Every structure is written in C-alpha cells, then in structure tokens.
Amino acid sequence: MRKMRRKGLASMAVQTVATSTDTPSVDLGPAAALSCRECGHRVPLGPVFACEECFGPLEIAYDFSGYDTEELRKRIEAGPANIWRYAPLLPVPADVAGKPNLNPGWTKLVQADHLAAELGVDAGRLFVKDDSGNPTHSFKDRVVAQALEAARAFGFTTLSCSSTGNLAGAVGAAAARAGLRSCVFIPHDLEQGKVVMAAIYGGELVGIEGNYDDVNRFCSELIGDPAGEGWGFVNVNLRPYYAEGSKTLAYEICEQLGWRLPDQIVVPIASGSQLTKVDKGLRELIALGLVEDKPYKIFGAQAEGCSPVSTAFKAGHDVVRPQKPDTIAKSLAIGNPADGPYVLDIARRTGGAVEDVTDAQIVDAIKLLARTEGIFAETAGGVTVGVTKKLIEAGVLDPAKTTVVLNTGDGLKTLDAVAGTGLTATIRPTLDSFREAGLAS
C-alpha cells in the first residue's frame, strides 16, 4: 500500500500489480487470485479492485479442484451454524471460525404458506429467507465478515465504507468485535434508526452532504490520499472479498431446501452486487455437484424511485443510465449501481426479470408480510415482497414453482416508513369501554 499514495483509483490497481513481488503473500483458503470480470486477466490476491488491463471489476477466482463432493457436503453440514460452515468456498483463512467476528448467517428460511395463499402461490412453494436475523439486523454482516478477514490479511488497521446505512452499522460492529478502528461515511439524511445503529458501536460516523453516489465518490478520493492510508474500505478496495459474502445466501437457501436449487429467487438491488453473487453461489454449488444441475431464474427488485436497472431491463438496454434516487427504500438507493450491467445479464440469461414498485406498494408489502408471516421487514424487504406480488400478478413468476424471496433487513430500522401504524383504540380501563370500542369477542 505504501507506494499507492496520491494515486487515482485506476493507477492504484496498476501500481499494486506492478509491485506485486513485494506484496506479502496471503493465504485466503481456496481463493487463488483476482480475475477481471471483463477480460479474465488474473492478478495476485491484494487490496485491488480494478483490472490493470481494462479497468473492469476484479473478482475472486478459486481453486476448488481438490474437493470431493460428498466429503465437502459432510464438512459443511458438520460446520458451525453461521457462514463459516462454507469457509471452504470463501476467500478466508482456514482457521477463520476461531477469530473474533460476529459469526453472521444461517438465518431462517421461512416457509410462507399464509403469504403464498394471499399471493396465489401453491402451498409449500413460497419461502422467505429472513436476513433480519443477522447480528446487526441486515444481510450486510455477511459481506463485512469477508472484508474483515481480507483487511486482517492485508494489515489494514481502520475499517471503513460508504454506506446507505446498513453497511455502516455492520462495519462498526465488526470493527468493535475485531478490535479495529472504524470510520464510516453515510448520506447525512438517513433514517434515525440507521444512524443510531451505525454510531452505537463506538466508531466514527461521518454524514456527507449529498446522496450515496456522492459518498462513494468521496471515499474513492480518500483511498488515493494519505488521509486514508491503511484504511480498508470494505466495499471499495476490499470489494472483491466483500462481495463474496453474498454467496452464502445462495448456499444457505439450497442447503435449507435439502440441497436443492429453488426455481425462482427474488433479490433486492442496490449496487447489484448481492444479486450477482447469489447467482455465482448457485453456479458453484452446481459445479461442485452439491445440487442437481437444473435451470433457475433470478429476479431483481428495485424501488420505482431508484430503478436504473429495472428501467434498463424493461427497455431492453445493456447499459444502465444513472438516476437521482427518491424513495423510502434508502438501503437500495444507489442511483449508479456498479453491478447493474451484470444484473441485466443474469436476469436475461436465467430467464428472470427486473421489476420495481412504488413507495406505497413497498409499505403495503411490508404490512402484508408482517400480517401473514410475522416478519417485520425493512423497506428493502417491502421491495422484494412487492415485486414478487407484482410479478405473480403479471404472470412472470410461476406460482407453481419453488420461490424464495429475500428479506435483507429488519423493519425496526425503517420505522418511519410505516408511521401511522399504531393503536387500534384508546379506552378507559373498564369492560364497558372495551365493549364500546367494538373489540369484544
């Protein structure tokens, strides 16, 4: 990292590769190298994220060649009830389970028969993967856990990120547990629940006057500056490692379905990273022989007020035109999604779709999920449930097929979205008053 100071992002990637001989060698289990998603160029594992040849995004390439399918399945099943049961498939050291971290994952896969009945889905066919059960109540603990291991391996002493809210909390908590400094950046106008969640772990929390895309741009500048030296930005210079955490959603869903692929899966889109890695996870399980090789469809879900990917999908475009976000689904409010084009590829390749719902539909969907299944989702969960409903009504999602809908965060984080939900009645503490209110059985 020493030689990268004062360099821009692209030159940072080049610089690190050029000096890779003095990059300390790191052992991240089965992770073999970083590989460019555009041109396939490979470089050694390091804190880089852009290809030196074409500036395409780098991702982890693995060597799984030594694995025997049945041995691997047994090893996973005997593993801890968290994401580290899949350590043989992640860019982490072999002894990762013993290091202080938040041990996220292995969240519930809820068979949602009441919701299925309301949506016209066959009984036993609809499931909600409820990631509100993670340590900081969103799916972000999965990705941060991977980035933390990379930060340790590369010797970073400060953990940082640009965040739409949930990531800031996940980074703050992970750093606290690991004994690292954290300093995270969010748009200044986030929901109070998310601000408190991000601040409570004792790290530094900085509000930026601007939207997420402004925050992200600022962080990119900070990485190239001495002011950010020794900082691991989980979703920027550690992004290739971070992103792999989303594969664990796919692994868990299949294992919880009895090592079966779902037919259809509905995933929220912010940057699009999660959706692309859910697909990668499913393809790996097929390649490893852990699930049967059969088709599956991936559906992406956005809020209408920040729908650059669904707009491109519906228009048949390959490029994603940035938008200025304006939606209550703030955790998904990324107007210029880095993985947007890859999401389009995956939706089209698998026969899925990308759809969006209005803020009013998001609120209705939050209430629908709570009322039918006892799951209180944050706005992102309202987006996936709302999009699922819309796609079933449009005949795009098949109600006879096994469908998994992701809920990626807890409703307590976005209470404002359902403000006005409250008392049925206020009565005097008497039976007469109770009867007058029309509540007697």
Ligand X SMILES: *Cc1c(COP(=O)(O)O)cnc(C)c1O
CB of 68 to ligand X, least distance (A): 32
CB of 140 to ligand X, least distance (A): 5
Taking CB under 6 A as the rule, does residue 166 contact ligand X?
Answer: yes
Q: How far apart are CA 238 and CA 191, in angstroms?
A: 26
Beta bridge partners of 355: 301
Q: How far apart are CA 86 and CA 25, in angstroms?
A: 23
Burial class (CB in 10 A: 0-12, 13-18, 19+), 106: buried
Locus of tokens 């391996």: 153
Q: Which of Zn ion, ligand X, none lies near 54, with the C-beta cut-off 5 to 8 A by kind?
A: Zn ion
Are the beta carbons of 162 and 190 closer than 8 angstroms?
no
Residue ranges in contact with Zn ion by CB under 5 A: 36, 38-39, 41, 51, 53-54, 56
Token code pair at residue 253: 């869903």
CB of 55 to Zn ion, least distance (A): 7
Among 182, 237, 248, 271, which residue interacts with ligand X (rule: CB under 6 A)?
Answer: 271
CB closer to Zn ion, 53 vs 214: 53
Among 85, 140, 297, 390, which residue interacts with ligand X (rule: CB under 6 A)?
Answer: 140
| Helix%, strand%, coil% for the chain, nearest 5 | 45, 15, 40
Span 324-343, contacts to ligand X by CB under 6 A: 331-332
CB of 41 to Zn ion, least distance (A): 5
Q: Is 62 helix (H, G, I), strand (E, B) or coil?
A: strand
CB closer to Zn ion, 56 vs 399: 56
CB closer to Zn ion, 11 vs 350: 11
CB closer to Zn ion, 41 vs 181: 41
CB of 409 to ligand X, least distance (A): 3
Taking CB under 6 A as the rule, does residue 162 contact ligand X?
Answer: no
Among 133, 408, 414, 418, which residue interacts with ligand X (rule: CB under 6 A)?
Answer: 408
Size of the site for ligand X (CB under 6 A): 17
Judged by CB under 6 A, which stretch of 136-144, 147-155, 320-328, 354-362 contacts ligand X? 136-144
CB of 49 to Zn ion, least distance (A): 12
Helix and strand numbers, DSSP H then E, in the chain: 15, 13
The dihedrals phi and psi of 203, each to the nearest 5 degrees, come to -80, 180
Torsion of CA 5, 9, 13, 16, to 10 degrees: 10
* DSSP code of residue 337: -
* DSSP code of residue 43: E
Among 47, 93, 386, 409, which residue interacts with ligand X (rule: CB under 6 A)?
Answer: 409
Taking CB under 6 A as the rule, does residue 269 contact ligand X?
Answer: yes
Closest CA to 87 of 70, 109, 105: 105
The dihedrals phi and psi of 37, each to the nearest 5 degrees, come to -70, -20
Angstrom CA distances, 363 to 4, 233, 297, 306, stand at 46, 33, 26, 16
Q: Which of Zn ion, ligand X, none lies near 166, with the C-beta cut-off 5 to 8 A by kind?
A: ligand X
Judged by CB under 6 A, which stretch of 53-61, 91-99, 200-208, 262-270 contacts ligand X? 262-270
Are the beta carbons of 407 and 133 closer than 8 angstroms?
no
CB of 425 to ligand X, least distance (A): 34
CB closer to ligand X, 203 vs 409: 409
Taking CB under 6 A as the rule, does residue 380 contact ligand X?
Answer: yes
Q: Which of ligand X, Zn ion, none lies near 414, with the C-beta cut-off 5 to 8 A by kind?
A: none
Provide the binding-site residues for ligand X, judged by CB under 6 A: 138-140, 166, 268-274, 331-332, 378, 380, 408-409
